């Protein structure tokens, strides 16, 4: 009787230890503190240019894997060679998480890309703080990669919304507009009239 109790107790502990160990392994947790995440944001050294990506792709380098974060439909329509499709909304699916962990364990650099640049920024920062440290973002996303490839990997102007550069001198622009009130008033009166005319014509056509 005493022995049976002992065995049950031992098995119980072994079970608890095993559950603890396995749940710890699969549980998603932050591996960077908030302060470290902030440093990651400031560092801004995670971009990979389309040309660099193309070289890796052509040389079939085994140290890098491209992660296509777009919808499977878009992925099927065209993607980087050797890219794996992990839609950004499904990153946490068990299957995809396992895939990402495998890439990580194999020491591969994961290059994330979406249709445009910004699509990869969120997933990057999320993965970065949950245990993945060899991550890059393909500058400009798939659209820009295509454009650079179409130009024979030449120099292409960066698309909008890749960086935080202001596109205007806001203060000067405001001063410019504010300094010419007459023009502004004109602008207000102008657009309304042609729109009105057009609408009338369309309705008449319909009747």
Partner 1 sequence: MMMKDKAYWILAAVLLMLGGGLLVFSPAGKPDELPPEELFRAMHDSSRFLHTDEVTRRIIEEDPSLLLIDVRNSESFRSFSLPGAVNIPVTDLLLPEWEDYLRAPGMEKVLYSNDDIMAGQAWILCTRVGITDLYIMRGGLNLWADHILVPEAPPETASMELTDRYRFRLGARLYFTGGTGAEVSVMQAEPIPVVRREKKTTIQGGC
Give the strand pairing for 47-48 and 83-85.
unpaired
Least distance to partner 1 from the beta carbon of 147, Å? Answer: 19
Q: Which two tokens stand for residue 22?
A: 């396995």
Q: Per rule CB under 8 A, is residue 149 in the interface with partner 1?
A: no
Which span sits near partner 1 by CB under 8 A: 55-63, 106-114, 151-159, 177-185?
177-185
- 60 scored as a contact of partner 1 (CB under 8 A): no
Q: Which of 54, 126, 146, 149 binds partner 1 (CB under 8 A)?
A: 126
Binding of partner 1 by 205 (CB under 8 A): no
Burial of 115 (0-12, 13-18, 19+ CB in 10 A): middle
List 113's β-bridge partners, or say none. 68
- How many CB atoms are located within 10 Å of the residue 58 CB? 10
**Burial (0-12, 13-18, 19+ Cβ within 10 Å), 79:** middle
Q: Can you give the binding site for partner 1, defined by CB under 8 A? A: 6, 9, 13, 16-17, 20, 24, 28-35, 37-38, 41-42, 88-89, 91-92, 117-118, 121-122, 125-126, 129-130, 160-161, 163-168, 170-171, 173-174, 177-178, 181, 184-185, 187-200, 202-204, 206-207
């Amino acid at each position: 009787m005493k022995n049976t109790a002992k065995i049950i107790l031992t098995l119980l502990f072994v079970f608890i230890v095993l559950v603890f160990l396995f749940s710890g392994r699969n549980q998603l947790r932050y591996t960077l503190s908030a302060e470290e995440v902030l440093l990651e944001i400031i560092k801004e050294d995670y971009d990979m240019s389309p040309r660099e990506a193309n070289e890796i792709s052509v040389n079939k380098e085994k140290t890098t894997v491209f992660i296509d974060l777009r919808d499977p439909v878009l992925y099927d329509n065209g993607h980087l060679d050797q890219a794996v499709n992990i839609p950004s909304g499904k990153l946490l699916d068990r299957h995809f998480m396992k895939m990402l962990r495998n890439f990580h364990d194999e020491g591969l650099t994961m290059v994330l890309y979406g249709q445009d640049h910004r699509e990869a920024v969120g997933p990057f920062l999320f993965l970065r703080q949950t245990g993945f440290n060899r991550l890059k973002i393909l500058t400009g996303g798939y659209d820009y990669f295509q454009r650079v490839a179409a130009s024979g990997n030449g120099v292409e102007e960066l698309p909008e919304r890749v960086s935080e550069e202001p596109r205007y001198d806001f203060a000067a622009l405001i001063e410019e507009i504010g300094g010419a009130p007459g023009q502004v008033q004109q602008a207000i009166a102008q657009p309304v009239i042609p729109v009105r005319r057009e609408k009338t014509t369309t309705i008449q056509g319909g009747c």
